[in-house]
């Protein structure tokens, strides 16, 4: 049994990751201060589910107030998923976003660097690339155009610098848009599926990034691979390796063709060659299967109030 720390444990990805880790028999310490009031109800429901397991404990504090030296052990894996989802697309609240996304990461790095106690898997985003066309690889220069991408790029930079100056093992995973059961309620697939189930008009909505999309189970699997790989101090694009997947999913939900990316020259492909070669990651859930699972979940579990 390995001790694993997950920041943002009650978020969409964090919750699914914690659940899988507990199922695998790991001791999991979740850290989540539930800074986003809009997500409070959902976070409490998730805590009711995983909080009953004796392998899980929650530290309900902001990251910058957590004493990591008291909970770290040799070979502890830390998944740093926590990030603001309330202010991360608003330039007028950039200071708040920096506080939640960059200062907290800096505190975490300073707390564990030099302790020889584990590795840090950092959840970044393909949004660090900004607006691009063609094939994007890990060598494509960063050029973020929104606060979220900017602060994630800053977090990456802090980690890379520390890994060069200390024994800290770092794995940076750049994620695309993620979908599946219990997806954030403000995201496009959740809104579109609710409208479909309630037989209401589809809203005009897109996610912040439409370059690629992965089902939550595949993302969790990719993060677990990052937590165990020997290929550390690397950046990986976690991606399907296919074009137009986000738009294909939208078309499956709405039943109509989406006008996005009419021009073939504007298509984007997030390369997954490196993550396949070094981590052994391959997408397991097709977009058809994933949409079906999310729709079935919404029909059974989620409050469908628009």
Whether 227 has a pLDDT exceeding 80, the answer reads yes
Q: How many residues are recorded in the chain?
A: 306
Tens of pLDDT, residues 70-107: 888 878 899 999 876 654 565 566 676 676 677 788 88
Q: 77-80 and 3-7: which strand pairing?
A: parallel
Cβ-based neighbours of 145, under 8 Å, separated by 6 or more? 130, 131
pLDDT score of 82: 86
Select from 87, 176, 188, 86 the least CA-distant residue to 129. 176
**Distance between CA atoms of residues 252 and 247, nearest Å:** 9
Give the residue-averaged pLDDT of 19-29.
95
Q: Is pLDDT above 90 for 258?
A: no
64-73, 243-252, 254-263: which range is least confident on average? 254-263
Which has the higher per-residue pLDDT, 191 or 112?
191
Mean pLDDT of the chain: 88
Which pLDDT does position 44 carry in this prediction? 81
User: For position 148, what pLDDT does the model report?
Assistant: 87
Of 32-41, 199-208, 210-219, 261-270, the least confident: 32-41
Position 176 pLDDT exceeds 70: yes
Q: What is the CA radius of gyration of the chain?
A: 19
Q: What is the CATH number of domain 3-300?
A: 3.40.50.720
pLDDT in tens, 28-43: 999 998 655 566 777 7
* Mean pLDDT calculated for residue range 287-303: 90
Q: What is the pLDDT of residue 201?
A: 95
Sorted by sequence, the CB contacts under 8 Å of residue 249 that are 6+ apart come out as 179, 189, 213, 287, 290, 291
How far the first Cα of the chain sits from its last, in Å, is 42
Residue that the structure tokens 């800074």 belong to: 35
- The pLDDT value given to residue 306: 44
Q: What is the pLDDT of residue 271?
A: 97
What gap in Å lies between CA 195 and CA 2, rounded to an integer? 42
Residue 187 contacts residue 38 (beta carbons within 8 Å): no
pTM here is 0.92
pLDDT, position 1: 62
Reading the block at residue 147, the tokens are 């606060």
């Amino acid at each position: 049994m390995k001790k694993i720390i997950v920041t943002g444990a009650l978020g969409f990805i964090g919750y699914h990751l914690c659940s899988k880790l507990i199922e695998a028999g790991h001791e999991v310490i979740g850290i989540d201060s539930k800074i986003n009031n809009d997500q409070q109800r959902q976070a409490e429901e998730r805590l009711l589910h995983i909080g009953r397991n004796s392998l899980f404990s929650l530290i309900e504090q902001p990251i910058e107030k957590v004493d990591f030296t008291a909970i770290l052990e040799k070979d502890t894996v830390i998944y740093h998923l926590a990030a603001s989802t309330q202010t991360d697309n608003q330039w007028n609240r950039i200071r708040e976003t920096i506080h939640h996304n960059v200062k907290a990461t800096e505190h975490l790095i300073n707390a564990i660097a030099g302790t020889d106690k584990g590795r840090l898997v950092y959840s970044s985003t393909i949004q660090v690339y900004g607006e691009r066309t063609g094939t994007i690889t890990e060598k494509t220069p960063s050029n973020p155009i929104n606060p979220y991408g900017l602060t994630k790029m800053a977090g990456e930079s802090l980690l890379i610098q520390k890994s060069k100056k200390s024994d800290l093992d770092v794995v940076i995973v750049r994620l695309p848009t993620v979908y599946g059961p219990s997806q954030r309620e403000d995201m496009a697939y959740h809104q579109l599926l609710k409208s479909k189930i309630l037989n209401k008009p589809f809203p005009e909505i897109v996610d912040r990034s439409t370059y690629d999309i992965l089902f939550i189970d595949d993302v969790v699997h990719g993060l677990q691979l990052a937590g165990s790989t020997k290929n550390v101090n690397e950046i990986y694009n976690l991606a399907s390796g296919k074009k137009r997947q986000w738009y294909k999913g939208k078309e499956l939900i709405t039943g109509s063709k989406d006008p996005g990316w009419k021009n073939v020259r504007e298509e984007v492909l997030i390369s997954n060659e490196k993550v396949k070669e070094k981590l052994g990651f391959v997408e397991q859930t097709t977009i058809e299967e994933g949409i079906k699972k999310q729709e079935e979940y919404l029909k059974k579990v989620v409050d469908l109030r628009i």
